Chain A
Amino acid sequence: MDRLNKILKKQITATFIAIFFGFLVATVILAVAGYNPFEAFAVLFKGIFSRPKYMANVIIKATPIILTGVSVAFAFKVGLFNIGAEGQFIIGTVAAAMAGILLDLPAVLQFPLLILIGMAAGALYGAIIGFLKAKYGIHEVITGIMLNWIAFYFCNYIVNTHTFHQDNSTGSKNIREAGFDIIYNWKKSAGGKSFLKENPTLMEIIGKTDLNIGIIFAIAAAIIITIVLNKTTKGFQLRAVGFNKDAAEFAGINIKKNMIHAMLIAGALSGLAGALMVTGISHKLSTLGTFENYGFNGLSISLIATNSPIGCIFAGLLFAGLLYGGGSIQSEIGAPSEIINIMIGTIVFFVALSRFIPVLVDKYGRRGGKHVK
């Protein structure tokens, strides 16, 4: 009984229960709508796992949202709600694309420079939020949302300026190839082409998809952030400010500086996601009709991962898998792919609810214990 209670109290258990409930609700809805839920799930899993190419696509889709997820999770850990991740992501794409079109350097320099510029732009954009909060006490959700829209229209403005606009299109010019992802440039090279021809599996995974090195950045970012938070003095300061800024202030920690630093780091992560999007997948900017939700999805992912940066990797993969595999539900059995959104919504909902599970375990667990006595 005690062991069961302990297991139930673990956050990871709660998350799995939430995922289970997500599937359960989807089952009910599919059944009510007249589809065979098990067939639908079979299709969903086939759409994710049946071919290496599909799995590669899931990873590609997961990369940006893992990073924005880590961005949000990090901000959460220091007591800030980074709803501005969307704007930081957009600014990251815009800065990387502008630099990619304007700069003309060898690939060894161009690619890392674009990544750095995207990160720096996102970092500064995030720092604005931190600065306004530290200096004037404006809530980060307000400034975050406003800055999202500013980034949105700034992107559309840049796309349509003479320097960047591609004639007869709704997007910008492509960035120079020197700025493309390392894997992309390798597979286009003579050596890469011949190597892939000999390895059909790799050909399918790399040659036929946009697979890029972004996922390495994402995983590295999650690990680095975990280390920074738990092992460094900076992380110690940031967490102290996040948990109790009055005590932190009294202990001589500069809370304003730390708020700005926290948003700077969170912004850099979202900006990195944006830069990787440009170098690895889109290679250009498009006129935005609506938000692309890379930042907002980061909020859901952080929630599912209960603000653990490492958890964000898995939550991001789950999220991307459901989204990508969900597409085949519609094409194969005709059920609307919105069912996937319902599932994701349900999972987030139950993860949020799961904070109550330890409380319930305490209440009923103890009651059960008394009976035994």
Chain B
Amino acid sequence: MRLTLVSCVTVFLAKSCFILYVKQEEERVDQGKDCAVRMKGITKRFGHFTALQEVDLEVQKGTIHAILGENGAGKSTLMNVLYGLYQAEEGSIEVKGKRVNIKNPNVAIGLGIGMVHQHFMLVENFTVAQNIILGQEVTNRFGVISMAKAKEQIEEMVKKYGLHVDPDAKIEEISVGMQQRVEILKALYRGAEILILDEPTAVLTPQEIQELIHIMHNLTKDGKTIIIITHKLKEIKESADICTIIRRGRYIDSVKVSDVTEEELANKMVGHAVKLVIQKEKAEPKEVVFEINDLVVENERKLEAVKKLNLKVRKGEIVGIAGIDGNGQKELIEAITCLTKVKSGSIKMNHEEIQNTSPENVIRNKIATIHEDRQKRGLVLNFTVAENTILETYKKNEFSKKGFLNKEAVLKHTKQLIKEYDVRPEDCENQLVRGLSGGNQQKVIIGREIANEPDLLIAVQPTRGLDVGAIEYVHKMLVRERDKGKAVLLISLELDEVMNVADTIAVIYDGKIVQSFEQGTVDEQTIGLLMAGGNKNGQIK
């Protein structure tokens, strides 16, 4: 009896000792493995443009790590470096504690990194199961694909993570949310431990977003690591553990999401980078020239992106629309410029309704637009500077007679414009606009649009990608137009720009103008909060 007791105690002691030892051992291993990804001093340049400058990133295993930043801040570039699509010029990458050189996506996949791109890469007329196993087919011993086996494996993953999809459905027949799950399954099937999701919610409905967040939590419970690229603060708050903020290619901060408010995140993202103070008199607004009433516009997915938006712009003032990307700005612009159809509501210019007409009619109604994408919408890159300056006005008697272009008049006009707007190089009228720098390209556009003598000048992200000198110039031009008595509408994702340039600041959130302020009557914090969906009293809805 005693003997058994003693032996029991010894066995127990030995067991606990062993367990303790094992636990310690596990911890030691965990410390090494704790950090799923460590990127240090990553610098990536495209030609003369520095997309990333010494960016650091540390992602803990089993967490959801958000990367927050404005469009063009460099967050996708950073992830593409991690996934091996781009090679960084400087910096090092460690995956699971080991220094690695990710030359191409195959290396990344081998390291257990999976990426779901914003635009899905699926074969439309293949089934879900076929897409998932594509490139990693399960075969029997004769080299024939064994779909039954593949489906079994897929069903297992589906059950484990709650990624409900029908393996036999064709991609073209299922919803976008489902397609995204297929992409996630595809990555998991390839053994991904670290999953990068690039703007995963951009294409989803609110309900699908909730489901996705649920799936992400399921995945991290199983020890997977998720990196999500986004600029939607609400979703970060709901899903992420840690958030790294990037602005203009630079690392800003890494914060524990539970410790910060959405407002703080918004401020960090939008930043107070360069304080540009614009010299201008107080605005003297006159009558309303441009008016939007109860405007409803659907996005590509037939979801309402602009929801009963109201806006007025008066002569002699700059109205700035501040907001985080994806709150209906894109759809609003496309509706005003008649690139997309309006579902309901009206857009009036000088009391004439212009919605659902044509871009030509918009220009005829004296609206000039500086589009945010100057290379796609603003310029014909393979045209000369001269040709670009008459892109909208070539039909005017000044530039053509009886269908023949008057080249001399066009050149004369262009030379004048080049001089007035200080486009460089000086004698570039016969050069392709492709060869000009971004700032000079923008000057060509601004010169062209202002030469049209519009009553309303719309500038969308007019300083995107420009250097400080060019930014200042663009702002000066906007103020000059205002002083001439024109109405100016500025839509920008950079809060500083709106705060500095605009006389009236309107905040857009979720497809609506939530509130308008006169310049100087409001601080950045209030605006930041409203941009993030809070109300004036400081509460987030």
Contact = CB atoms under 8 A, between A and B. Distances in A.
A136 interface: no
Contact of A243 (B337, B359, B360, B380): B380
A254 interface: yes
B100 to A, nearest CB: 32
B378 A254 contact: no
B383 A240 contact: yes
Contacts of B371: 250
21 contacts: A231-B405, A231-B407, A232-B404, A233-B395, A233-B403, A236-B390, A237-B394, A240-B383, A244-B376, A247-B376, A247-B377, A249-B339, A249-B359, A250-B337, A250-B378, A251-B391, A251-B392, A252-B361, A252-B363, A253-B360, A254-B360
Contacts of B395: 233
> Interface of chain A, helix or strand or loop or mixed?
helix
Contacts of B157: none
B381 interface: yes
Given A240-B383, A247-B378, A252-B358, A231 B404 contact: yes
B376 A246 contact: yes
Nearest to B364: A252
A246 B395 CA distance: 19
B362 interface: yes
Interface string B370-410: 01000011111111000100111011000010011101000
B369 interface: yes
B382 to A, nearest CB: 4
Contact of A233 (B358, B378, B383, B394): B394
A239 B405 contact: no
Given A240-B391, A247-B391, A233 B380 contact: no
B380 A247 contact: yes
B76 to A, nearest CB: 22
Contact of A244 (B364, B379, B392): B379
B287 to A, nearest CB: 26
Contact of B380 (A234, A244, A252): A244
A250 B394 contact: no
A249 B376 CA distance: 11
A203 interface: no
Contacts of A247: 376-380, 391
Contacts of B363: 251-252
Contacts of A233: 394-395, 400, 403-405
Contacts of A236: 387, 390, 394, 405
A232 B395 CA distance: 10
Interface in A247-272: 247-254
Counting chain A CB atoms within 10 Å of each CB, the highest count among B362, B380, B381 belongs to B380
Interface in B345-376: 358-364, 369, 371, 376
A325 B59 CA distance: 72
A254 B376 contact: no
Contacts of B358: 252, 254
B113 to A, nearest CB: 34
Given A246-B377, A247-B391, 10 more contacts: A231-B405, A239-B380, A244-B376, A244-B379, A244-B382, A247-B376, A248-B380, A249-B339, A252-B362, A252-B392
A269 B295 CA distance: 48
Interface of A: 231-234, 236-237, 239-240, 243-244, 246-254
A251 B360 CA distance: 7
Interface string B456-470: 000000000000000
A367 B493 CA distance: 43
A251 B387 CA distance: 12
Contacts of B382: 243-244
A247 to B, nearest CB: 5
A240 B379 CA distance: 9
B403 A234 contact: yes
A91 B378 CA distance: 40
Contacts of A240: 380, 383, 387, 391
A250 B334 CA distance: 10
Contacts of B369: 250
A254 B361 CA distance: 11
A237 B400 CA distance: 13
A247 B400 CA distance: 21
Rank and list the top 4 A-B pairs by shortest CB-CB distance, nearest first.
A252-B360, A251-B391, A250-B377, A243-B382
Nearest to B378: A247
A134 B469 CA distance: 42
A17 to B, nearest CB: 24
A249 B391 CA distance: 10
Nearest to B383: A243
A249 B361 CA distance: 12
A237 B83 CA distance: 42
Contacts of B337: 250
Contacts of A232: 400, 403-405
Counting chain B CB atoms within 10 Å of each CB, the highest count among A237, A243, A244 belongs to A244
Nearest to B360: A252
Contacts of A234: 403
A251 B395 CA distance: 12
A232 B399 CA distance: 11
A232 B358 CA distance: 23
A252 B381 contact: no
A251 B405 contact: no
A251 B448 CA distance: 11
